[in-house]
Amino acid sequence: MDWSNTKVLIPGGGGFFGSHIVTKIKKMGAQVLVPSTKNGVDFRREEDCNKVMKEASPNIVINCAAIQGGIGYHSGKQADLFLDNTKIGLFLMEAAQKEDVDKFVNIVAGCSYPGYIEKEELNEEDYWSGEVHDSIFSYGVSRKMSVVYGKALSKQYEFNSIHLLLANMYGPGEKFNPEQSKALAGLIKKFYDAKKEGTPEVVVWGTGKPVRDWLYVEDGAEAVIRAAEVYNSIEPLNISSGVGISVGDLAKTIQKIIGYEGKIVFDTEKPDGALKKTFGTTKMKNELDWMPETSLEEGIKETIDWLDKNYEFAISH
């Protein structure tokens, strides 16, 4: 695909994941437009979605705009997160369809998968077969609704959207503020601070048992661009490392890389979330002819290095 003739609108392109996609796709020569809330844009408003879409008139939209965080962030905000994210997801897609955009790439979090299926890995055919986990149900379902809407637009208008189900990501640029950070970033910060301050123990949320797979953000961005180039089915597609690791082992890995010598204590009063969530990569491998290349250790080192150089920004944005 020749990106140099392509105008790409990336809502949420200023965020953690979106900014990595923006950097990569610009290097490939695409003309990239990134709307920002700093300029007054609010995609919870239908008129803003229509206006930005009309003015940009893009060939491709890659939608990374959403309001979310780790499990703790959702508590007490369930109704707002449901309504806000439903509006953003549906209004942007509707605007793209009305503007005759060639392709809408919908970035969907893996937390929209059923949360209580006990399987080695979750594959695309499992996506509709169970309840989203209670800890993130309102966000998960709001994003799932955008997948439904994409399918409906495809049936009614032959609108071309693809729906990429991304595993948890980590890497440079992510949020380390305790309110919004995800488990891996939260762990890195705890061990990083504990080493600096000489704290004797690090408390890890939950039992340490839940298993997740972690995708390095640069790999995730590469996969999204590859999917934008070659994937054209309305059926959702997993984007994941396919490698599961328990929170306990993840904590030990981070402890070792940081060189922290204190104790790890598990706070079992805190919620675990879904017990096992790893995503199958067979379809991704076949459809994209692609697999992520960054090992967890390598990615964690890069992330710690970025945190070290950007500490104040990392913990405040």
Ligand X SMILES: NC(=O)c1ccc[n+]([C@@H]2O[C@H](COP(=O)([O-])OP(=O)(O)OC[C@H]3O[C@@H](n4cnc5c(N)ncnc54)[C@H](OP(=O)(O)O)[C@@H]3O)[C@@H](O)[C@H]2O)c1
Tokens 């509709």 — which residue? 128
Query: Nearest-CA neighbor of 288 among 218, 220, 216?
Result: 220
21 binds ligand X (CB under 6 A): no
Task: Provide, rounded to whole angstroms, the least separation between the CB of residue 279 and ligand X.
Answer: 10
Burial of 2 (0-12, 13-18, 19+ CB in 10 A): exposed
Whole-number minimum distance, CB 297 to ligand X, in Å? 18
147 binds ligand X (CB under 6 A): no
> Which of residues 10 and 194 has its CB atom nearest to ligand X in the complex?
10
Q: Distances in Å between the alpha carbon of 148 and those of 23, 161, 252?
A: 30, 11, 39
In whole angstroms, the minimum distance from the beta carbon of 152 to ligand X comes to: 20
Q: Which stretch binds ligand X (CB under 6 A): 13-21, 124-132, 262-270, 294-302?
A: 13-21
**Pick 95 or 194: Cβ nearer ligand X:** 95
Q: Among residues 220 and 260, whose Cβ is nearest to ligand X?
A: 220
271 contributes a contact to ligand X by CB under 6 A: no
Indicate the residue among 89 and 206 with the shorter CB distance to ligand X.
89
Residue whose CB is nearest to ligand X in the complex, by number:
15
Q: Which is nearer to ligand X, 87 or 270 (CB)?
A: 87
Cβ partners under 8 Å of residue 216, min gap 6:
169, 170, 171, 241, 292, 294, 296, 298, 299, 302
Query: Tell me, what DSSP letter sits at residue 232?
Result: -
By CB under 6 A, residue 64 contacts ligand X: yes
66 binds ligand X (CB under 6 A): yes
Paired tokens of 105? 């790439």
Residue 245 to residues 70, 166, 185, 252, Cα–Cα distance (Å): 17, 16, 15, 11
Is residue 203 a contact partner of residue 265, using CB atoms and an 8 Å limit?
Answer: yes
Tell which positions 184-243 bind ligand X, by CB under 6 A. none
Amino acid at 251: A
CA angle, 185 then 17 then 89, to 5°: 115
Q: Is 65 in the site for ligand X (CB under 6 A)?
A: yes
**For ligand X, the closer CB: 139 or 191:** 139
Residue 302 interacting with ligand X (CB under 6 A): no
Q: How far is CA 27 from CA 11, 23, 191, 229, in A?
A: 18, 6, 35, 15
Residue 5 Cβ vs ligand X, minimum distance, rounded to whole Å: 26
> Whose structure tokens read 């690090």?
202
CB of 113 to ligand X, least distance (A): 11
According to CB under 6 A, which one of 61, 166, 237, 274 is a site residue for ligand X?
166
107 contacts ligand X (rule: CB under 6 A): yes
Judge whether 222 and 21 are in contact, CB under 8 Å.
no
Q: Which stretch binds ligand X (CB under 6 A): 41-49, 226-234, 259-267, 290-298?
A: 41-49
List the one residue from 7, 23, 28, 42 that touches ligand X (CB under 6 A).
42
Q: Which stretch binds ligand X (CB under 6 A): 74-82, 118-126, 165-173, 249-257?
A: 165-173
Please answer whether residues 266 and 204 qualify as being in contact, where contact means their C-beta atoms are separated by less than 8 angstroms: yes
Which C-beta is closer to ligand X: that of 194 or that of 206? Answer: 206
Burial class (CB in 10 A: 0-12, 13-18, 19+), 93: buried
| Site for ligand X, rule CB under 6 A | 11-12, 14-18, 36-38, 41-44, 64-68, 88, 107, 109, 166, 168-169, 182
